[in-house]
């Protein structure tokens, strides 16, 4: 994982040293000039250096003399998807991310990332995985490998590819192995924190333990899913729906081999010849407004479906996002075997 600090240079640096750094960045050649506190001051490209030299500025001069003083940036926790899309359309490829005090904390490279979504993600990784025994006797289910890396790592990498880099892992069974594998996530360019379930808290109960989300939208996902879900489209549809919670749903078609009669008080008023019905199953991936998480009880077993039921009963909006791509719940041995063959063809 590329260290974003390669794109940072301190004010007062000589132009010739900046050129060396730009050269090392190759096609990603842009530098962000910071002060001693790592606060963003400006940006610098090969073009800025060239224009400065043409004006007669010496190569031993400081970069301060030639920087662009109003660079584009994302503010952590405050960027919006319209801004992201606008930057991409206008060919801004590399954007720094700053905190409220303008300290640079990351750099987004749209050559390598699909988006930069203002979302916290919680990956539920505490289950026993009993149906996959004996594979899970000594290894937590999320760390079982699909292809060359663990199931949960596929999920983390896909989230990261959409710029979702503030992650929480909810752990319980053999959770220390998961912590040892990912640590703080820095080697993958993400921030990973952990919440431990002392007792099983259901598919969303542990989320109540997290008090310091950075964004107003929280994504909760099971760790044992393999999917090519477009998180940006999911997020945009969530915003446009005006919902408090959106659920990825998996379409299932049921073919009825006979004519189906529609009746009322024993009177046939219509019939359908060999109809096909489509039903939607819960896909285990949710987008939720942060304030809605207040409805989750403290230290109680609580499923995502319980939260949906609460919202529906209180006339809040729960949105369905039908997934047209790939999705596999790795719950049984046959699912795990299917994942091993599918991963060779998937781009996730």
List the CATH number of the domain containing 245.
3.90.550.10
313: Cβ contacts below 8 Å, ≥ 6 apart? none
The residue from 21, 49, 79 where one domain ends is 79
**What is the mean predicted confidence (pLDDT) over 49-62?**
91
Question: In angstroms, what CA-CA distances link 142 with 168, 199, 200?
Answer: 14, 18, 16
Using 50, 70 and 90 to split pLDDT, how confident is the model at 346?
A: confident
Judge if 190 and 61 occupy the same domain: no
What range defines the domain where residue 21 resides? 4-79
Model confidence at 191: pLDDT above 90? yes
Coil, helix or strand for 161? helix
Of 160-174, 247-261, 292-306, the poorest mean pLDDT is in: 247-261
The DSSP secondary-structure symbol of 138 reads: S
- Encode pLDDT of 24-41 as tens digits: 998 889 999 999 999 999
Judge if 238 and 321 occupy the same domain: yes
How much is the pTM? 0.88
Question: In angstroms, what CA-CA distances link 248 with 150, 170, 221, 332?
Answer: 22, 20, 10, 21
Coil, helix or strand for 216? coil
- Asked if 144 and 224 count as a contact pair (C-beta separation under 8 A), the reply is no
Please state, rounded to an integer, the average pLDDT across all residues of the chain.
91
CATH of the domain at 58: 3.10.580.10
Using 50, 70 and 90 to split pLDDT, how confident is the model at 2?
A: low
Model confidence at 259: pLDDT above 90? no
């Amino acid at each position: 994982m590329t260290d974003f600090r390669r794109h940072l240079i301190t004010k007062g640096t000589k132009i010739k040293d900046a050129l060396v750094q730009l050269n090392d960045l190759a096609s990603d050649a842009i530098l962000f000039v910071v002060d001693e506190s790592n606060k963003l001051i400006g940006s610098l490209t090969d073009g800025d250096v060239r224009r400065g030299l043409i004006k007669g500025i010496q190569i031993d001069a400081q970069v301060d003399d030639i920087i662009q003083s109003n660079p584009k940036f994302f503010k952590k926790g405050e960027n919006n998807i319209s801004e992201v899309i606008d930057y991409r359309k206008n060919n801004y490829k590399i954007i720094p991310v700053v905190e409220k005090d303008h300290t640079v904390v990351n750099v987004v490279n749209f050559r390598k990332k699909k988006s930069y979504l203002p979302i916290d993600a919680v990956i539920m990784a505490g289950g026993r995985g009993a149906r996959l025994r004996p594979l899970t006797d000594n290894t937590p289910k999320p760390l079982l490998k699909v292809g060359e890396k663990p199931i949960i790592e596929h999920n983390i990498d896909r989230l990261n590819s959409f710029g979702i880099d503030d992650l929480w892992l909810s752990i319980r069974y053999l959770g220390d192995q998961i912590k040892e594998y990912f640590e703080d996530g820095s080697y993958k360019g993400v921030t990973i924190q952990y919440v431990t379930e002392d007792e099983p808290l259901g598919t969303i109960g542990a989320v109540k333990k997290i008090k310091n989300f950075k964004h107003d939208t929280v994504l909760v996902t099971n760790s044992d899913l393999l999917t090519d879900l477009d998180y940006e489209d999911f997020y945009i549809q969530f915003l446009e729906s005006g919902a408090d919670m959106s659920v990825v749903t998996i379409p299932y078609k049921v073919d009825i081999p006979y004519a189906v009669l529609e009746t009322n008080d024993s009177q046939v008023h219509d019939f359908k010849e060999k109809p096909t019905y489509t039903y939607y199953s819960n896909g285990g991936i949710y987008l939720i407004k942060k304030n809605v998480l207040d409805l989750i009880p403290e230290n109680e077993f609580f499923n995502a479906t319980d939260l949906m039921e609460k919202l529906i009963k209180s006339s809040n909006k729960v949105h369905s996002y039908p997934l047209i791509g790939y999705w596999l719940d790795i719950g049984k041995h046959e699912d795990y075997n299917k994942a091993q063959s599918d991963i060779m063809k998937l781009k996730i």
